[in-house]
Amino acid sequence: MSTLLYAWEFGANLGHIGTFLPVGRELRSRGHEVHWVVAHTSQAARLLDREGFAWMQAPTTGETPREGPPLSYADILLRFGYANGEDLLGLVVAWRQLFIALKPSLVLADHAPSAILAARTLDIPVMLFGGGFFAPPQVSPMPNMRPWTDVPLERLARIETESLASINFVLARFSMPPLTYLYELFQVAETALLTFPELDHYAQRVRAAYWGILPAAVADPPQWASQGRPRVFAYLRASSPHFEPALQALHDLNLPCLIYCPDISEPMRRRYGSPRVHFAERPVDLTQVAREADAAVTYGSPTATAAFLLAGKPVLMIRSTPSSRRPTWRKNCGAYWLRPRSPRMRGLSRRNTSFSTSRR
């Protein structure tokens, strides 16, 4: 049987390990050996330990500040080790040593560009596994991921050239031919996009294999604090912008509300909890809660957003990252909370609880 390696380098939250876990279980049941190399070991302890899987820490680097928000995928790379060839070499050598030790026949890369680069230097096949944002389209320069902002193509090209120089520095170190375009890094054996064409982050993509949204690995049935309608489900992160104003708005609605926020503090849980507002201790079955709730508020979770859109329910997304924001913005199938303290936005939560079925 085969030895497979799941590689996760960038990003956070449960959607990475949790999404691959059902696949990992099935692969193991068929006799394959599955290795996990993860960006955040705390999440591995929560999800993998009970499954009998072991894991290793992924080679990562902290974010290097740059002026303004990231404008493209290449700009993100520059903030995480790709602005300097020797910095990137350090990451790639670490990934190579993991691969040499574990001898995978296939690397499943979940937002792991340095793992993809390391696999290229060792001629190990790679399968991209994750949301559309993690697999940029075959265009150059890579698209502006803030389409509401006018960014000259020349600026995007300069950003891409800078990151490409570091990649080619590493490839030369291992006597590999250089890349002409950054998108060539993502030309791998296979790509599985865990999304739908309508929710793909890149309108420029021509052909792709869309798997849709996979079922959650660990999820409890929703437990509502009280009966009555309408019901609101919220999937939030304490680290997200505008977290506390969102909690205040949900509390002020005085409607049956179920909130899942894994990193909320106990004092904040007590402050905003009420007989009608219940905080879930563990991940909630999104398919079931989308059937039972009338609307959702999310920090930008693509899985939660897709579940509610598939159920025909409205979604309010709190501004988070461009990776979570762009698809619904482009398709006009979601609302965004951009300025929670502005006079216009203070009444948004109350207005959006009419939940007219004619708007679904």
Q: Hey, is 281 helix, strand or coil?
A: coil
Reading phi first (left if > 0) and then psi (alpha if -120 to 50, else beta), residue 155 is in: alpha
pLDDT computed for residue 263 by the predictor: 86
Tell me the average confidence (pLDDT) per consecutive run of 10 residues in the chain, 360 residues long.
95 81 94 96 88 95 91 96 97 98 97 97 96 89 88 96 98 98 96 88 83 78 88 90 88 93 91 93 90 91 87 83 48 47 40 42
pLDDT of residue 322: 52
The Cα–Cα gap between 189 and 180 comes to 19
Domain extent listing, the chain: 3-199, 232-359
Question: How are beta strands 277-280 and 295-298 bridged, if at all?
Answer: unpaired
> Going by CATH, does the domain composed of 3-199 fall within 3.50.50.60?
no
User: Would you say the pTM of this structure is higher than 0.85?
Assistant: no
Same fold, 3-199 and 232-359: yes
pLDDT for 360: 44
8 A C-beta contact, residue 166 and residue 96: no
In the CATH hierarchy, which top-level class contains the domain 232-359? alpha beta
